Amino acid sequence: MIAVSLVLITGAMAYPGSVALLPVVGSALVILAGAHEDGSTPGHPARLLATRPMQWVGDLSYSLYLVHWPVLTLAAWRFPDGRLPLWLGLILAVVSVGLAWALRRWVEVPAMHGSLLAGRRRALTRGGLGMAAVAAAGALALAAGAALAPARPGEESPVAGARAVMDGQDPMAALAAGMRIVPDPAVAKEDRSPAHVAGCQLGYEDVEPEACEFGDPDSETVILVVGDSHASQWTAPLEVLAEERGWRVVSHTKASCVVTTAGVLEDGEPYPECDEWNRALPDVVDGLDPDLVLVTGARRETVAEDPAAAMAAAWRELTPAAGRLAVLMDNPRSDTSMSRCLEQHRDDPAACAYGKAEGIEESGAPALQAAAASAAADPQWGLVDVNHLVCPGEDACAPVIGEALVLFDTNHFTATFARTLAPELGEQIEALLP
């Protein structure tokens, strides 16, 4: 069971979770098997565990458990994708063994057998006092960190964001060491779209459409946004517009699921839950009767020979029950996580800029443009594009615009920045409404 765990458990699984039972139960069974065995019976597993090398590792195991994860994690943090090269991981594993031996030799063993903790009552008392002191120190550190850390996104920390570009600022020229960044890169992954926060963006296994709604539920202007997580990210500025203009905004989004008639692939494998969700979308639109359908998506792999045609075909199935349909252009994609990069380059945020041409090419924009062009003559179709505010430069895209962190990973807007796109987004949507 332990050996199978090494192969079966992957990073895509929720861990710890029910899958953790496999190595845990396996370990428990090994312990049970040797509970009444001294290792002298030929062929018994305890005989292997009784050898000096195995016992040496066993004695070291707790110290190694404490040491290895910080070593590997802190080292991985220095790499843009957070993944260590195999050779470096092996070297650090060996280093961890040395650190664990030192920790056991000079901390663990003296603590267990030294005079400092002699006597059970005194040990418990000192242990309790020690834990209380550690807890108090931790609380003080957290309080100090909260007081000193940059403010999290929200009304308490307003930023210009895209407004800075509208006012003529060059975001690349504005990048400077020590500049204010909202949200702080360390917490940027928490700054996600309202649909994601509300839990109505469907996961990979979900197939039943689920809506998020914003604004006035009785409004005569109904706007529907559909697609993958790149559609979900637009609920941040759409929520602002819904509240300001009295619209009813509805989102139907699903992880990694682009709107298409073709079979969608996820990591090269069929994604039938996406296909089923796509088949249900026309009924969703028919029941909602929206004035405008906004459709967008990241670059996704499908089985279609002509992906753009398959996307356009799916969009046409949505238009009969809608006033109009508009393609919401996808944003440029970075090749590295912006929050991670800015954590590593706080003294030089310009180091996190990424190429505009490459960013657009790796995004969903080319496929969306091709699909939109196939029906350019249809008066029901429109185009919404605010990328001139997302990446106004000729060659490079800035990681921070108007003090707002643009992307919290390689390709998703922070909700803080996305909200600053609301004025321009609103003007373009107004022009398309029937």
- Mean pLDDT, consecutive 10-residue stretches, the chain (434 aa), reads 88 75 91 76 78 90 90 77 79 92 88 65 64 64 49 59 95 93 92 93 93 95 97 97 97 96 94 96 94 96 93 92 92 95 92 96 95 73 95 95 96 97 97 90
SS3 assignment, position 205: coil
Q: Say how far apart CA 419 and CA 244 lie, in whole Å.
A: 12
Look up residue 107 and give its DSSP letter. Answer: I
User: If you compute the radius of gyration of the chain from its CA atoms, what whole number of angstroms results?
Assistant: 27
Helix then strand then coil, % of the chain, to nearest 5:
50, 10, 35
- List the domain boundaries for the chain: 2-146, 162-432
CB 288 within 8 A of CB 224: yes
Phi/psi class of residue 400: alpha, beta or left (left: φ > 0; alpha: ψ in -120 to 50)? Answer: beta
Within 10 Å of residue 133's Cβ, how many Cβ atoms? 10
Phi/psi class of residue 268: alpha, beta or left (left: φ > 0; alpha: ψ in -120 to 50)? Answer: left
CATH architecture for the domain at 162-432: 3-Layer(aba) Sandwich (3.40)
In order of 69, 105, 170, 396, 425, the CA distances from 385 in angstroms are: 44, 63, 19, 18, 8
- Residue 150: predicted pLDDT: 45
- Residue 298: predicted pLDDT: 96
Q: Say how far apart CA 67 and CA 360 lie, in whole Å.
A: 42
20, amino acid identity: A
pTM of the model: 0.70
Crossing angle for the helix pair 307-318 and 365-373, nearest 10 degrees?
A: 60
Q: Pairing mode, if any, of strands 264-266 and 222-227? A: unpaired
SS3 assignment, position 333: coil
**Token output for 197:** 């926060």
In order of 162, 220, 398, 417, 423, the CA distances from 240 in angstroms are: 14, 17, 24, 12, 9
CB 210 within 8 A of CB 176: no
